[in-house]
Amino acid sequence: MSNDSKITRRGFIGSSLAIAAGVAGGTNILMPTAAAAAGNRKAKRSIRFAHFTDIHLEPKRNAPAGLAAALQHAQSQKDKPEMIITGGDHFMDLLGAQDNWTQVQIDTLKEVLAKECKLPMKFCVGNHDVWGWDKNYSKTTGTEELWGKKRFLKEFNLENRYYAFDAGKWRIIILDSTHIDDKDVYTAKFDDEQYNWLVQQIESNKDKYICLVNHIPILSAAVLLDGDNVKDGRWMLPDEWMHLDTQKLVGLFWKNQNVRLCISGHLHLLERLVYNNVNYVCDGAVCAAWWGGAFQQCEEGYGLFDLYDDGTFDHQYIDYGWKVEKA
Amino acid sequence: MSEKIGKTKITRREFVGGTVLAAVGLAGVEAFGKSSSCGFFADKKNSKKRSLRFAHITDVHIRPEHNAPEGFALALKHIQSHKDKPEMIITGGDHILDSIGENDSTTEMYWTLFKGIMKKECKLPVKYCIGNHDCWGGNKKKSGTTGNEPNWGVKRALQELEMPNKYYSFDQGKWRLIVLDSIVPTDTYCIGKIEDEQFAWLENEIKTANGKFIAIFTHIPIMSVGAYFYGGNNEKTGDWIVPGSRMIINARQLKDLFWQNRNVKLCVSGHIHLYEHIQYNGVHYISDGAVCGRWWKGAHQETEEGYGLFDLYDDGTFEHQYIDYGWQAKES
């Protein structure tokens, strides 16, 4: 890979400057160009990390070699990321997997990571990382000691299903989007316990910029175009596709103004949007279409994030060059 | 999907975050190294020439109440007082408060008010886009219309605004600007759709642009997240429903058309009264707030009364600002 640290940025800044409360009308503030922002950035970098979401690993589909290629690619960046943060769905599926097949998937991931990853990793739980919630297919009873999220947490030594850490001027908060639903396995939202903890994290870190990492997007328009979601002349989304508690979260972010960036996966689509001064990035998928090639218009890839001390950031979605072998 | 660089195939789609100013968000950035018309890896240090600077005013919803006429005059003055003055105004529809459910004389009163302020305060050329509230009498019961009036429906807006057609295009520098009619009236309101005849015309406009970059203007957004926020408790109902009146119902068809023709760079809309900026598959979708805010009663949710200021450049990039022109809604 060449040219890594000298990316040509043909960008522009489209500002939302005047909607921020307190900015006087009538002032035409000239925004710096993205090129200037990138080339002459004065702010120090707080952290550079790679975001690997939706790996969907299993022994088949040449997936282990694909993940190895992605890890090698990220670690051979000239300006190497300091860590990898995952976006959930590490496994093809644990929701409906029986005990043995669950262990095979877990061991496969451990093997690839042990061999190929020299960077520290932070894990985020996705819906397919939850063992056995689909009791029918998984042949579980729900009374197994490691049923649900416990198995993933234990196997990968996570302190909790949600947690936070500091990186320079930023606080990075890893959250769990998957909430159990008796009707149809799961619902996308933060449960009350987690939401209250998140409020406390945001309110007690006013001197930091906040970056949230969770599996299912809090806000997305691409999700509406993901499938045939038009029914009876309306757009309808199931409760698994996008967070149900978005209105509450948007309100929380607006009130506190320190949340800058929300990163998700789940859709296997690449989308970036700005709403009320918060940036939402849905970051594609390492596996693209579950290792069957590009998913819709999105290639296999990972995100590379630079968070800066002034609350700005850069993001690139990097196609690491994976080619699916045609059978 | 990619360009060869050295030995490794890479695709970069970038996003440059925030700026130093206040709590200001970010923006999008051009993307897609594969687009032949885009040339992502070209050296951009060459100073880029501007094709056009224009102001986008959407959702004026002019009315006599709430000091709206004064507010609209202020917005127009603000637009024309930029040191680097826009060359034209493009509207985003909903020029008047409503005519879907209004009778002939009220509708006439709104149009007279709108046109009077434009004549007095606006010295710039204007390109108009149809909004749902500009179409007269869709709700026959409320408006007392039969549908047989010679200027019923969209015809009245075309007449009042002296528009050549419901949809049209014009070229400006290296860009082709396409103004669409996204309104399909129903018995009570409308749905957002680009119907077959117009879609075929649009496809032809895109395909025959001859190297030009495309900006598309609709009243109802093609992609929007603001579309979710119209009240109701979806957390309780357990799903998300977006009415077809809030986001163009054949958006997937448009998305695929844009993907086949990588010259489409920008889609600008109104209708939602909320400001947002989405980047998807190399196309930017901007929902550009509203001149009237919450129908002249102040900010709508988190979005202040404002207008968009766009600079389109010869290399297919653009800049956008949403500008709060300083209107303060009066009490009562």
Torsion over CA of A230, B101, B59 and B125, rounded to 10 degrees? 120
Among B305, B301, B225, CA closest to A274: B225
Lowest-pLDDT range of B19-23, B50-54, B227-231, B290-294: B19-23
Backbone angles phi, psi at A86, to 5 degrees: -90, 165
Domain presence at residue A6: no
Give strand pairing partners of A315: A305, B15
Are the beta carbons of B280 and A222 separated by less than 8 Å? yes
What residues of chain A score a pLDDT lower than 70?
A: 1-41, 327
pLDDT tens-place string over residues B195-223: 999 999 999 999 999 999 999 999 999 99
Domain presence at residue A141: yes
How close, in Å, is residue B108 to chain A by CA atoms? 32
Cβ-based burial of B6 (10 A; exposed 0-12, middle 13-18, buried ≥19): exposed
Instruction: Please give the pLDDT value at position B235.
Output: 87
Residue of chain A minimizing CA distance to B279: A272
Measured CA distances, A231 to A238, B253, B258 (Å): 12, 16, 23
Beta bridge partners of B303: B300
- Degrees to nearest 5, angle at CA A319 with B267 and B250: 30
CB B30 within 8 A of CB A10: yes
Domain membership flag for residue A12? no
- Interface contact A318-B286, CB threshold 8 A: no
pLDDT of residue B330: 82
| A·B CB contacts under 8 A | 296
Measure CB to CB from residue A28 to each of B6, B82, B252 and give the nearest one. B82
What residue of B is the nearest CA neighbor of A239? B239
**A277 interfacial to chain B (CB closer than 8 Å):** yes
Contact between chains at A15 and B16 (C-beta distance less than 8 A): no
**Does residue A245 form part of some domain?**
yes
pLDDT value, residue A184: 84
Name beta bridge partners: B150. Answer: none
Under 8 Å between Cβ of A246 and A212: no
Residue A308 lies in a domain: yes
Do A242 and B240 touch, CB atoms closer than 8 A?
Answer: yes
Q: 3-state DSSP call for residue A200?
A: helix
CB B2 within 8 A of CB B10: yes
> B251-260 and B196-207 helices cross at what angle (nearest 10)?
20
Which A positions 30-49 lie with beta carbon below 8 A of chain B? 31-35, 37-38, 43
Which of B43-52, B64-73, B107-116, B254-263 comes out lowest in average pLDDT?
B43-52
Q: How many domains does chain A have?
A: 1
Inter-chain CB proximity A321 and B42 less than 8 Å:
no
- On whether residue A105 sits in a domain, the answer given is yes
Total residue count of chain B as it appears in this document:
332
Nearest CA in chain A to B227: A221
Distance from CA of A101 to the nearest CA of B (A): 32
Does A8 map to a domain?
no
In chain B the domains, ranked by start, together with CATH numbers, are 1-46 (no CATH), 50-324 (3.60.21.10)
A254 with B302: Cβ contact below 8 A = yes
- Rounded CA gap, B318 and B169, in Å? 19
Question: What is this model's ipTM?
Answer: 0.88
Domain that holds residue A279: 49-319
Residues in chain B with CB shorter than 8 Å from the CB of A35 are 44-45
d(C-alpha A297, C-alpha B11), whole Å = 12
DSSP A251-278: HHHHHH--EEEEEE-SS--EEEEEETTE
In a domain, A83, yes or no: yes
Indicate if the pLDDT at residue B224 is higher than 90. yes
Question: Could you tell me the CATH number of the domain that includes residue A84?
Answer: 3.60.21.10
SS3 (DSSP) at A38: helix
